[in-house]
């Protein structure tokens, strides 16, 4: 195939990229590379599309290939630095930022990133040095009884239990950019922390004849789209159960609002409103992707620390009707892992998921089309094929696993011969991907009913507005 044919394919990829259709862009770049595997810019273009899809491991591989083809290609170092920064590999990223700054000294943004990366490496080392295994809770010394809600506070008051009236008022306050009183924030987080701490690592629930449960995927601080789910599908109630499958926070700039609303419903309906932990309910991700900064900007650092403690108390999975195993990431590196192993997992012994082990896999893994297991496209965890899913479901008497963790252009995707379902509930993700959102309703017959929905308008606050490290501009948001 002639070189100009390869360029034509790349141009089609660029058109799809401009239309924010990242999967199609990747397919065109694949074809361009097949036609001419020696053009480094094809790899950096594909790397950028992979970054948009959060396939950071693939982006690193593409950028590395481009560097092999042309060691002076600055853009390739830039892409690899962005991808390594995104998966918190600051030590690896810093080398590439250094190259970019050296080769292109007039690039102010790269210099800013290099400086920010140096700070992050130092901060990571500092946090590791001061880490204490049994650090005291941020709740110590917090005297809620003596905390006064001023006369001027114009919202509904909260006493010792959550009420529908309080939630309805809170929903409206958040819509107009108002906050709830700090005392109430503390009350909500502390109440829910205790509730979820006492739940099993895998919550088991059943759907009775006159009930239904709605499973939602990532909401990522997209508060107005969360309200759209409730508008379309009905608000939580004793008969209408909800399960939010992780990644409530980060990226979107209403993460405190999303977390507080979900927590308030958990407090109101402790036995029928469920929350699974996601990979973004972790300290290192919250520092990088905005939730820590947002808590500090809207409330206090102590609010973030309490949220952090509550996140580490969250269950890691939910079993619905003995048939659907719902968890944020996916399946495991070992075929011997069973539901009983999840039941026995002591999540309280390990607050953060770490780089390996069962908790990390539950929060981070992804499906792949090829059989067996493979390296992770995102550079963390692993990927599992249809045969892995089939064996796990058959061994544990399951219909399917339901997971989230990845953007799907249609809001959901059924893979692995119907045994692996991905649901993602943040439409027009980060204001930069033209994807739909979706949720799944399950009634007593245990059939899955999918609903897609579109993003709704929101006030003009950009994604990651509270991330303090320039990630937003770096990721091209």
The pLDDT of residue 471: 53
Catalytic residues: 280
Going across the sheet that includes 212-216, the strands are 273-276, 240-245, 212-216, 437-443, 448-453
Q: Where are the alpha helices (DSSP H) in 107-244?
A: 108-130, 164-175, 182-197, 223-233
Residue 294 falls inside a structural domain: yes
pLDDT by 10-residue block (mean), the chain, 477 residues: 87 96 96 96 97 95 98 96 92 94 90 88 82 80 94 96 98 98 98 98 97 98 98 98 98 97 98 98 94 97 97 98 98 97 93 89 97 94 97 98 97 98 97 96 98 98 82 51
CA distance 36 to 6: 6
Backbone angles phi, psi at 349, to 5 degrees: -80, -5
Element (DSSP H or E) covering residue 245:
strand 240-245
35 contacts 9 by C-beta, under 8 angstroms: yes
**Within its chain, how far is the Cα of 452 from the centroid?**
19
Q: b vs e for 83-107, b when ≥16 Cβ sit within 10 Å of the residue's Cβ?
A: bbbbbbbbebbbebbbbbbeeeeee
Residue 226, classified by CB atoms within 10 Å of its CB into exposed (0-12), middle (13-18) or buried (19+), is buried
CA distance 176 to 188: 21
pTM of the full structure:
0.94
The pLDDT of residue 2: 73
- Residues 85, 227, single domain; the answer is no
317 contacts 202 by C-beta, under 8 angstroms: yes
pLDDT in tens, 56-84: 999 999 999 999 999 999 999 999 999 99
CA distance 183 to 206: 35
- Residues 308, 263, single domain; the answer is yes
- Residues 124, 225, single domain; the answer is no
40: CATH: 1.25.40.10
Residue 138 falls inside a structural domain: no
The pLDDT of residue 209: 96
Residue 56 falls inside a structural domain: yes
- Residues 317, 381, single domain; the answer is yes
Residue 139 falls inside a structural domain: no
Structural domain including 19 reads: 3-130
- Residues 94, 217, single domain; the answer is no
Radius of gyration of the chain from Cα atoms?
Answer: 23
- Residues 58, 205, single domain; the answer is no
* Cα separation of the two ends of the chain: 35
Q: How many CB atoms lie within 10 A of CB 239?
A: 11
Residue 320 falls inside a structural domain: yes
The pLDDT of residue 467: 87
Q: How many CB atoms lie within 10 A of CB 151?
A: 6
The pLDDT of residue 3: 83
- Residues 84, 155, single domain; the answer is no
Q: b vs e for 278-309, b when ≥16 Cβ sit within 10 Å of the residue's Cβ?
A: bbbbbbbbbbbbbbbbbbeebbeebbbbbbbb
Residue 135 falls inside a structural domain: no
- Residues 91, 39, single domain; the answer is yes
DSSP state for residue 146 in the 8-state scheme = G
Residue 136 falls inside a structural domain: no
Residue 207, classified by CB atoms within 10 Å of its CB into exposed (0-12), middle (13-18) or buried (19+), is middle
The pLDDT of residue 354: 82
169: CATH: 3.60.21.10
- Residues 23, 118, single domain; the answer is yes
Among the three residues 105, 130, 155, which one is the final residue of a domain in this structure?
Answer: 130
Residue 275 falls inside a structural domain: yes
- Residues 221, 346, single domain; the answer is yes
- Residues 175, 60, single domain; the answer is no
CA distance 72 to 64: 12
For residue 449, what are the β-bridge partners?
441
- Residues 184, 268, single domain; the answer is yes
Q: How many CB atoms lie within 10 A of CB 205?
A: 17
Please count the structural domains in the chain.
Answer: 2
Among the three residues 102, 130, 158, which one is the final residue of a domain in this structure?
Answer: 130
Among the three residues 130, 152, 177, which one is the final residue of a domain in this structure?
Answer: 130
């Amino acid at each position: 195939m002639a070189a100009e044919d390869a360029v034509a394919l790349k141009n089609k990829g660029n058109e799809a990229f401009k239309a924010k259709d990242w999967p199609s862009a990747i397919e065109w770049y694949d074809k361009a590379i097949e036609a001419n595997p020696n053009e480094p810019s094809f790899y950096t273009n594909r790397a950028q599309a992979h970054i948009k899809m959060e396939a950071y491991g693939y982006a690193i591989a593409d950028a590395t290939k481009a560097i092999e083809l042309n060691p002076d290609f600055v853009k390739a170092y830039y892409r690899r630095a962005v991808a390594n920064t995104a998966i918190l590999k600051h030590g690896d990223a810093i080398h590439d930022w250094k190259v970019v700054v050296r080769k292109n000294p007039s690039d102010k943004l790269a210099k800013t990133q290099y400086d920010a990366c140096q700070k992050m490496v130092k901060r990571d080392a500092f946090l590791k040095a001061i880490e204490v295994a049994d650090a005291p809770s941020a709740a110590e010394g917090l005297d809620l009884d003596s905390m006064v809600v001023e006369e001027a506070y114009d919202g509904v008051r909260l006493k010792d239990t959550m009420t529908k009236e309080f939630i309805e008022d809170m929903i409206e306050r958040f819509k107009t950019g108002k906050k709830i009183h700090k005392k109430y924030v503390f009350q909500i987080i502390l109440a829910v922390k205790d509730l979820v701490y006492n739940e099993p690592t895998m919550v088991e629930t059943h759907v009775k004849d006159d009930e239904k449960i709605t499973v939602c995927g990532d909401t990522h601080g997209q508060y107005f789209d969360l309200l759209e789910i409730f508008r379309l599908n009905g608000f939580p109630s004793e008969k209408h159960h909800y399960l939010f499958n992780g990644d409530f926070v980060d990226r979107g700039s209403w993460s405190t609002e999303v977390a507080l609303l979900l927590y308030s419903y958990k407090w109101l309906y402790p036995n029928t409103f469920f929350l699974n932990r996601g990979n973004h309910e972790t300290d290192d991700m919250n520092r990088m992707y905005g939730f820590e900064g947002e808590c500090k900007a809207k409330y206090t650092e102590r609010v973030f620390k309490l949220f952090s403690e509550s996140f580490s108390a969250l269950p890691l999975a939910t079993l619905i009707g003995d048939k659907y195993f719902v968890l944020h990431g996916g399946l495991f590196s070992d075929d011997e892992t069973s539901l009983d192993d999840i039941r026995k997992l002591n999540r309280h012994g390990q607050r953060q998921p770490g780089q390996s082990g069962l908790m990390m896999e539950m929060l981070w893994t992804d499906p792949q089309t090829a059989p067996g297991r493979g390296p992770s496209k995102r550079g963390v965890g692993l990927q599992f094929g249809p045969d892995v899913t089939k064996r796990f479901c058959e061994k544990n008497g399951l219909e399917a696993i339901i997971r989230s963790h990845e953007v799907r252009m249609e809001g959901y995707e059924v893979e692995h011969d119907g045994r692996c379902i991905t649901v993602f509930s943040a439409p027009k993700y980060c204001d930069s991907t033209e994807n739909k959102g979706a949720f799944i309703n399950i009634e007593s017959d245990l059939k899955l009913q999918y609903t897609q929905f579109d993003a709704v308008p929101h006030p003009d606050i950009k994604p990651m507005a509270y991330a303090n490290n320039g990630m937003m501009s770096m990721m091209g948001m």
